[in-house]
Amino acid sequence: MGTGKRGLIATALTVIGAVAVLAAPGTAFAAPGPTPTPTASPSASTPPTNRDIEAVRRQLDALYHDAAVATDAYNAAEEKAEQQSAQIVALAQKIVKGQEKLAKLKARAGAAAAAQYRTNGLPDEAKLVLSDDPQQFLDATGRVIQGQRATKALIAELTRTQQDLKQYADDASAQWTKLEANRKAKAAAKKKVERQIAAAEKLESQLEAKEKKRLAELQEQAAHQAQTAWLDSGVLDEISGKASEAGKTAVAYATAQIDKPYEWGAEGPDSYDCSGLTSQAWASAGKPIPRTSQEQWKQLQHVDIKDMRPGDLIIYFGDASHVAMYLGDGAIVHAPRPGRTVTIAGAGSMPILGVVRPDA
């Protein structure tokens, strides 16, 4: 958050305190999306043998999957916190302008009260009797009536401005409560991501060189088998969509990031997580989309796999915890997981939940 934002938020909170409308903390928002129960890390007492490598692969998949879910929760909380910070800044600006307006209205009201005092408050009948010029009195009476109307309008505007200020302060207070809740959700998600990745790295570190080689072979084999099964279904025989111009731009951006490292919570330009890559690719095409894979699945238009075209996003796993961009010919580009880089893979190498189109 920039220095200017901090200053405006501080101003908003000062004003809120001054008018004594700071709300009590509300119920904290839960981190979005399903959160599977974390898988316990294996004991470090004995390194796995060769016959256990497949079990290790499955355990690593579970740990990295849980980390991906937590990353989505982290990204969602961060996005909401940024939105709430912007809303607080906007409300702070409204409060400052409202205070300036209220001060001017109060000055006008004071001037009107002083003018009324100078007339000594005589009744109209007495002013008519004492006046040397009845027409002048009548003219003055008309001006008085206009002044009374203006005074009523001034009082009404004062009241509205005071009500607006209170509403702005209430809104800023509510946004601040939500901001604090999402900061807590973000911190909790961060801890979970770090815990799951640490467990996976510890598990991998226990492997000997030949076991790591065998693990890599099993991982590649599992992805190849899944991709082969997907292709054997005949799905590519039905896919014939051509990329839109925006889709071509998004694909060009995504493929230009190949070999850059995966980093959870990152959205470029030096590293990415899965939804950071897809959201930035489509932003480069002038089509902003939600930051997380779960929100991309919820908010973007769903399309049938047979209608899929390059640039579309494929959402993976039942909880929408991973996303990749379709390139055509059964291939995707994606940021896989910690320790890997942005790469091209088979579109069917993971369980597909569905396909969404950012530029529908």
Query: Backbone phi, then psi, for 302, in 5-degree steps?
Result: -80, 140
Asked about 302 being catalytic, the answer comes back as no
Alpha helices per DSSP H over the chain:
3-18, 53-118, 124-130, 134-205, 209-232, 235-238, 245-256, 274-284, 293-299
Give yes or no for a cis peptide into 269 (omega within 30° of 0). Answer: yes
In this structure, are residues 290 and 281 in contact, taking their beta carbons and an 8 Å threshold?
A: no
* Residues ≥6 apart with Cβ < 8 Å to 151: 109, 112
Of 65, 224, 274, 302, catalytic: 274
> Is 224 one of the catalytic residues?
no
Selecting among 65, 224, 302, 322, the annotated active-site residue is 322
Residues 6+ apart with CB under 8 A from 15: 92, 95, 96, 99, 165, 169, 172
Question: Annotated catalytic, 334?
Answer: yes
**Given 65, 224, 302, 334, the catalytic residue:** 334
How far lies 216's CA from each of 75, 182, 213, in Å?
29, 38, 5
Catalytic residues: 274, 322, 334
